[in-house]
Amino acid sequence: MSQFPEGFLWGGATAANQLEGGYQEGGRGLSIADALPGGKDRFKIVSQPDFDWTIDEDKYNYPNHLGIDFYHHYKEDIALFAEMGFKCYRFSIAWSRIFPNGDEAQPNEAGLQFYDHVIDECLAQHIEPVITISHYELPLNLAKRYGGWKNHYLIEFYERFARTILTRYADKVKYWMTFNEINSAAQFPVMGQGLVPSNGGNDKRNVFQAWHNQFVASAKAVKIAHSLNKNIQVGCMILYATSYSYDANPVNQLANLHHNQDFNFFCADVQVRGEYPAYTNRLLAEYDLRFDDLETTDGELALLKEYPVDYIGFSYYMSTANETTGQTTDTVAGNLMGGVKNPFLKASEWGWQIDPTGLRIALNELYDRYQKPLFVVENGLGAVDKPDKNFHVDDDYRIDYLKQHIQAMAGAIKDGVDLMGYTPWGCIDLVSASTGEMSKRYGFIYVDLDDQGNGSLARYPKKSFYWYQAVIKNNGLEKPKPKDDQAKETIIKPLV
């Protein structure tokens, strides 16, 4: 018997800004992702005090403009997902394709038609669409003219956007998420909230205000969705990085507990439980703020209470460790945040600490706290792939990473956790969010494109493609792997 429940949603995940391209086609407007330069200095550049979202093509390259050109390849790509046996495909709808400037009264029909095709293609291939309404791709105008999510007007604009797509796809799409990694703004409010230093991103009051506005917008989306179709399930989506105390020192343990509240739980507490947690004022006080400093209304707080999310989607790549007593200064990188080096763990080429057991812990921690279904909507290993002359990639390192994380999920299910599905990140290679690199690859499908935008854009299944196909077929890991030799034979020619 499989360790995974029948109907478990195996699939993969992407985001519009990182794969679609077609950034000026079909009436699409610019999004904040279009203004992020490619390369390892991406975050450094956008953190400069004078960064004002200007796109300067003489100075930088902008890999999100092309993505992997899913806009023109979506049919072939979805066919490859179907070949792997995907039960679901998580993607986002680019807000600026639907409302090019974010503040229009009427949607852009050509943008909607693109998603009609994508969704219909998924359904024709028996793949359940899982849609993120907003994934790091705020219309640029809303950041420049309105100052990002700290502005109350964005609630209304988001509501219009969410209502448009929820209404259009209410009978076709059951699973939705309101904001990708909503809590990531704690570390870096650029992508999630459209806040940079020049529009107030360094002021924590703005970050908390932006969150409040997003919580309200999220509750409104839940309300709309449920009124359209009772079967629709709307989730929150958080960045979860299991966090350990460096040692048994109670001081570090307490620091770790607070870190967990502040980073891993704060947003989910509001979105799942429908109210601000008891520690809110302790957290705000760390920035010399009080809850009263935020603009909130009784009506909004009542809305949060009435429309909590139905499930918890989360990304999990790595864990962190907390040390506050000066024993070590050895720090590591991570998914928008690092921490001190955990001596028990190895790290990826980008310095993210690999920790499959941490996923089992995350699933238990979240389920203990909320008792709502969980959905691992991102997980994976960003690595440099080295294709041979036939573009074949033997990515055993990726298979190994994913296998260990699937084992961890099976363990959590045995622990009693209600887990809906698993959509590994970047199921097809795409542009990295934090560094704008193509060379940081996560996919089961290799895309012939480099960091400078050179390449044929041809798609080639990697070894992991056939491995994951077998996992899905067997509803888990138990049964024998496909024969690697057979896999190699099928993959020597490009598919497009």
Restricted to residues 220-259, the positions that interact with ligand BG6 (CB under 6 A) are 239
What is the DSSP secondary structure assignment for residue 264, as one 8-state letter?
I
Count of residues touching ligand BG6 (by CB under 6 A):
16
Contact with ligand BG6 (CB under 6 A): which of 31, 199, 434, 469? Answer: 434
How many angstroms separate the most distant Cα atoms in the chain?
Answer: 65
Amino acid at 155: I
**Which of the stretches 67-75, 304-312, 416-424, 425-433 binds ligand BG6 when contact is defined by CB under 6 A?**
425-433
Asked if 62 touches ligand BG6 (CB under 6 A), the answer is: no
Residue 119 CB partners (closer than 8 Å, separation 6+): 129, 169, 172, 173
Nearer to ligand BG6 by Cβ, of 164 and 432: the residue is 432
Asked if 64 touches ligand BG6 (CB under 6 A), the answer is: no
CB of 434 to ligand BG6, least distance (A): 3
The catalytic residue positions are 378
Place of tokens 């949060």: 304
Up-side HSE of residue 96: CA atoms within 13 Å toward CB? 26
Place of tokens 């509803």: 475
Q: Mark out the alpha helices in 203-249 (DSSP H runs).
A: 204-228
Give dist(CA 458, CA 61) in Å, integer.
21
Structure tokens at 217: 């917008």
Q: Mark out the alpha helices in 32-108 (DSSP H runs).
A: 42-46, 70-84, 95-98
Per-residue contact flags (x/-) with ligand BG6 for residues 436 to 455, judged by CB under 6 A: ----x---------------
Contact with ligand BG6 (CB under 6 A): which of 378, 385, 429, 448? Answer: 378
Q: How many CB atoms lie within 10 A of CB 65?
A: 20
Nearer to ligand BG6 by Cβ, of 164 and 180: the residue is 180
Asked if 432 touches ligand BG6 (CB under 6 A), the answer is: yes
CB of 303 to ligand BG6, least distance (A): 26
CB of 170 to ligand BG6, least distance (A): 25
Tell the burial category of 63 from Cβ atoms under 10 Å away from its Cβ (0-12, 13-18, 19+).
Answer: buried
Contact with ligand BG6 (CB under 6 A): which of 433, 445, 477, 491? Answer: 433
Asked if 181 touches ligand BG6 (CB under 6 A), the answer is: yes
Q: Are strands 445-447 and 459-461 parallel, antiparallel or unpaired?
A: antiparallel
- Number of residues that this document lists for the chain: 496
Nearer to ligand BG6 by Cβ, of 382 and 443: the residue is 382
CB of 377 to ligand BG6, least distance (A): 9
**Which of the stretches 339-347, 391-399, 403-411, 426-434 binds ligand BG6 when contact is defined by CB under 6 A?**
426-434
Which residues bind to ligand BG6, rule: CB under 6 A?
Answer: 15, 18, 136, 180-181, 239, 315, 335, 378, 382, 425, 432-435, 440
